[in-house]
């Protein structure tokens, strides 16, 4: 309780400080030391609040069960990501490739980085792990079109150059993305929710016992309120962090794609830690729900948001990936399909995914 109150107090005090003194604080970005301190302050507060989001979402997960628990966490994290991207795009300079770079970074981090590390840890600890094959297949059947259509197809359309879309294409793709993701959510929370729960063992009992909490004083509504209380400061502080990131990347002469990677790492670090914890506890299905769910939610919500901002503000939005990144993305989708079409996973799949993630990191700085 003390930690929770301290976290909320720090987060909302930071919000108040930047609402009242934001222009003065951000005006200090020219000097190295103040710039570093402001970045560390914002990054620390946002990460701390993000861990609060994870904590409250996990409490709700125990109360509501799967797949609702991981769905609440995933959607909460993606809302934060969308807020950060929107803050940068609506800034003075704009960022036509930020949405693309962030979505691609999220896919690489969760589908290669976290899955790779997780399967290595799970293989070392549990030798091989079971999961619900139908659930993983459902995720991949949605992720593949949600990935290929916005990130690859724009490079091959002829109406516009350079990986962009026309207004009509943007509206149509946004509606398609929302419709497909909405249909998936109906399936996930409706009659096929069993696809996203832990599989039964050969003896007919669940591999992992479902946690039962008794004597919890706070109600579900209270946890929802605390979840929102941790999300809102992150959303409000997103614009200030976006300004600092934009300044730092420009000053250092770093690759433009680094902005998307940093946003993805800041936002998804708590969820990635939750997924690795689940794998360590032999709850591979929960980890799959988190990783593949993060990929599906990111694409399902970020693509319409980015395209809508582009249409409203008149900014160009570049979605098509470079030829190199298209190859890495195609390899990632193929490997994910091979990994999650067997009944069990081993360390070998983890090593393969992790190697692709390292290739992605190398190509960011040396394309």
Q: Tell me, what CATH number does 292's domain have?
A: 1.20.1420.30
Predicted confidence (pLDDT) per residue in 72-130, tens digit: 878 877 887 787 778 777 765 567 888 898 899 989 998 999 888 988 888 888 777 67
Rounded-to-integer distance, Cα 23 and Cα 240, Å: 10
By three-state DSSP, how is residue 86 classified?
Answer: helix
Residue range 163-185: average pLDDT?
A: 92
| Residue 79, helix vs strand vs coil | helix
pLDDT in tens, 7-18: 888 989 988 988
Over residues 234-276, the pLDDT tens digits come to 878 877 877 787 777 777 777 777 877 877 877 777 778 888 8
Selection from 234, 229, 233 nearest residue 218 by Cα: 229
Select from 88, 82, 159, 95 the least CA-distant residue to 315. Answer: 95
Q: What is the pLDDT of residue 196?
A: 76
The pLDDT-based confidence of 328 (bands split at 50, 70, 90) is very high
With 0-12 / 13-18 / 19 or more C-beta atoms within 10 angstroms meaning exposed / middle / buried, residue 154 is: buried
Helix (H, G, I), strand (E, B) or coil at 200: strand
- pLDDT tier for residue 286 given thresholds of 50, 70 and 90: confident
Residue 108: predicted pLDDT: 93
Where residue 152 falls among pLDDT bands split at 50, 70, 90? very high
Arithmetic mean of pLDDT, 123-140: 77
- Nearest-angstrom CA–CA distance, 333 and 72: 25
The Cα–Cα gap between 258 and 361 comes to 10
Range of the domain at 300: 2-365
Domain count, the chain: 1
**Model confidence over 33-82: pLDDT tens digits?**
778 888 888 888 888 887 887 788 778 777 777 677 778 878 877 887 78
Q: What pTM value is reported for the model?
A: 0.81
Nearest to 104 by CA among 340, 363, 339: 363
Model confidence at 209, in pLDDT bands (50, 70, 90)? Answer: very low
Say how far apart CA 148 and CA 104 lie, in whole Å.
11
């Amino acid at each position: 309780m003390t930690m929770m109150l301290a976290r909320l107090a720090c987060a909302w005090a930071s919000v108040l400080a930047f609402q009242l003194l934001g222009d003065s604080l951000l005006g200090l970005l020219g000097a190295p030391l103040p710039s570093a301190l402001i970045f560390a302050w914002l990054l620390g507060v946002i990460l701390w609040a993000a861990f609060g989001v994870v904590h409250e979402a996990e409490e709700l997960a125990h109360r509501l069960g799967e797949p609702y628990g991981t769905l609440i966490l995933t959607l909460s994290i993606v809302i934060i990501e969308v807020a950060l991207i929107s803050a940068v795009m609506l800034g003075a300079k704009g960022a036509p490739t930020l949405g693309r770079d962030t979505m691609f970074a999220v896919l690489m981090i969760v589908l290669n980085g976290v899955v790779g590390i997780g399967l290595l840890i799970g293989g070392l600890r549990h030798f091989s792990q079971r999961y619900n094959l139908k659930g993983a297949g459902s995720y991949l059947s949605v992720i593949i079109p949600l990935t290929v259509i916005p990130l690859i197809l724009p490079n091959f359309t002829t109406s516009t150059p350079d990986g962009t879309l026309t207004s009509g294409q943007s509206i149509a793709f946004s509606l398609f993305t929302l419709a497909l993701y909405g249909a998936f959510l109906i399936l996930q929370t409706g009659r096929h929710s069993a696809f996203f729960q832990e599989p039964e063992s050969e003896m007919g009992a669940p591999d992992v016992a479902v946690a039962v909490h008794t004597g919890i004083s706070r109600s579900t509504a209270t946890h929802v309120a605390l979840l929102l209380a941790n999300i809102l400061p992150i959303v409000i502080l997103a614009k200030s962090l976006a300004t600092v990131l934009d300044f730092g990347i420009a000053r250092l002469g770093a690759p433009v794609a680094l902005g998307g990677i940093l946003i993805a790492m800041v936002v998804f670090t708590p969820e990635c830690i939750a997924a690795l914890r689940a794998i360590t506890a032999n709850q591979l299905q929960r980890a799959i729900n988190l990783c593949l769910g993060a990929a599906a939610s990111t694409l399902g919500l970020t693509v319409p948001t980015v395209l809508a901002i582009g249409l409203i503000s008149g900014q160009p939005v570049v979605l098509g990936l470079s030829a190199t990144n298209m190859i890495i993305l195609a390899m990632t989708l193929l490997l994910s399909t091979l990994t999650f079409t067997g009944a069990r996973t081993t360390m070998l799949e983890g090593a393969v995914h992790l190697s692709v993630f390292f290739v992605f990191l190398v190509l960011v700085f040396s394309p």
